[in-house]
Amino acid sequence: MRYLLEIIASVAALLAGKDSVLTSVQIYPNGTYPGAIDPAAEPGAQFLQTSPPFYPSPWMNGQGEWADAYAQAKDFVSQLTLLEKVNLTTGVGWEGEQCVGQVGSIPRLGFRSLCMQDSPVGVRDTDYNSVFSSGQTVAATFDRNLFYQRGYAMGAEHKAKGVTVQLGPVAGPLGRAPEGGRNWEGFSPDPYLTGVAIAETIKGTQDAGIIACAKHFIGNEQEHFRQVGEAVGYGFNITEAISSNIDDRTMHEIYLWPFADAVRAGVGAIMCSYNQINNSYACQNSKMLNNLLKNELGFQGFVMSDWQAQHTGAASAVAGLDMTMPGDTLFNSGESFWGTNLTLAVLNGTVPEWRIDDMAIRIMAAYFKVGLTLHEPPINFDSWTLDTYGPLHYAVGENTQQINFHVDVQGDHGTLIRDIGARATVLLKNVDNALPLSNPKFVAVVGEDAGPNLDGPNGCSDRGCDNGTLGMAWGSGSANFPYLVTPDSALQAQALADGSRYESILDNYASSQIIALVSQANVTAIVFVNADSGEGYINVDGNEGDRNNLTLWQGGDELIQQVSAHCTNTIVVIHSVGPVIVTNWFDSPNITAILWAGVPGQESGNSITDVLYGKVNPAARTPFTWGATRQDYGTDVIYVPNNGNGAPQDDFVEGPFIDYRAFERQNTTPIYEFGFGLSYTTFEYSNLQVIKHNVSAYAPTTGVTEAAPIFGNFSTNLTDYLFPNASFPYIRQYIYPYLNTTDEKKASADPNYGQTAAEFLPPHATDGTPQPLLAAGGAPGGNPQLWDVLYTVTANITNSGTRDGEEVPQLYVSFGGPNNPSLVLRGFERLSIDAGQSTTFSADIVRRDLSNWDTVAQNWVITSYPKSVYVGPSSRNLPLSQAL
Q: Which residues bind ligand NOJ (CB under 6 A)?
A: 100, 118, 167, 215, 306-307, 476
Q: How many CB atoms lie within 10 A of CB 442?
A: 16
CA distance 277 to 282: 6
Question: How far is Cα 854 from Cα 5, in angstroms, rounded to an integer?
Answer: 12
Q: Which of 247, 248, 306, 449 is catalytic?
A: 306
Cis, peptide link before residue 34, omega less than 30° from 0: no
Minimum CB–partner distance for residue 659 and ligand NOJ (Å): 22
Instruction: Return the bridge partners of 244, or none.
Output: 277, 650
User: Which stretches of 417-458 are assigned E, i.e. beta strand?
Assistant: 426-430, 442-446
In whole angstroms, the minimum distance from the beta carbon of 427 to ligand NOJ comes to 32
Terminal Cα-to-Cα distance of the chain (whole angstroms): 34
Nearer to ligand NOJ by Cβ, of 120 and 768: the residue is 120
Q: How far is the CB of 360 from ligand NOJ (least distance, A)?
A: 22
Cβ count within 10 A of residue 108: 11
Q: Residue 507 CB: number of other CB atoms within 10 A?
A: 13
Q: CA–CA separation, 358 vs 711, rounded Å?
A: 9
Distance set, CA 525 to CA 444, 445, 566, 879 (Å): 5, 6, 10, 35
- Dist. CA 473–CA 635, nearest whole Å: 22
- Min. distance of Cβ 680 from ligand NOJ in angstroms? 38
List the strands of the sheet with 824-828, edge to edge: 824-828, 810-814, 868-872, 880-883
**Which long-range contacts link 286-289 to residues 24+ away (Cβ below 8 Å)?**
286/51, 286/53, 286/54, 286/55, 286/57, 286/318, 286/319, 286/320, 286/762, 287/51, 287/52, 287/53, 287/54, 288/51, 288/217, 288/218, 288/320, 289/57, 289/217, 289/319, 289/320, 289/321
Element (H, E) at 790: strand 789-799
In the complex, the smallest distance separating the C-beta of residue 225 from ligand NOJ, rounded to whole angstroms, is 14
- Listed residue (705, 62, 760) closest to 358, CA to CA: 62
Asked if 50 and 286 touch (Cβ cutoff 8 Å), the reply is: no
Least distance (Å) from ligand NOJ to the CB of residue 537? 8
Angle formed by the axes of helices 511-518 and 556-566, to 10°? Answer: 40
In angstroms, what is the minimal distance from the CB of 431 to ligand NOJ?
41
Please state, in angstroms and rounded to a whole number, the distance separating the CA atoms of residues 100 and 102. 7
Q: With residue 493 as reference, give the H or E element that holds it.
A: helix 487-498
Q: Is the CB of 169 or the CB of 390 nearer to ligand NOJ?
A: 169
CA separation, residue 680 to residues 92, 610, 620, 830 (Å): 54, 13, 12, 15
Measured from the CB atom, the residue of 118 and 328 that comes closer to ligand NOJ is 118
**Between 289 and 346, whose beta carbon lies closer to ligand NOJ?**
289
Do 390 and 382 touch, CB atoms closer than 8 A? Answer: yes
Q: Cβ closer to ligand NOJ: 119 or 625? A: 119
CB-wise, 181 or 436, nearer to ligand NOJ?
A: 181
Query: Least distance (Å) from ligand NOJ to the CB of residue 821?
Result: 29
Upstream peptide bond of 375 is cis (omega within 30 degrees of 0) = no
Annotated active-site residue 306? The verdict is yes
Nearer to ligand NOJ by C-beta: 86 or 167? 167
Check: CB of residue 294 under 8 Å from CB of residue 261: no
Closest CB 302 distance from ligand NOJ, rounded Å: 15
In this complex, which beta carbon is closest to ligand NOJ, that of residue 118 or of residue 448? Answer: 118
Nearer to ligand NOJ, 283 or 747 (CB): 283
Q: Which is nearer to ligand NOJ, 217 or 585 (CB)?
A: 217
C-beta of residue 473 within 8 angstroms of C-beta of residue 602: no
Q: Smallest distance, Å, CB 118 to ligand NOJ?
A: 5
Active-site amino acid positions: 306
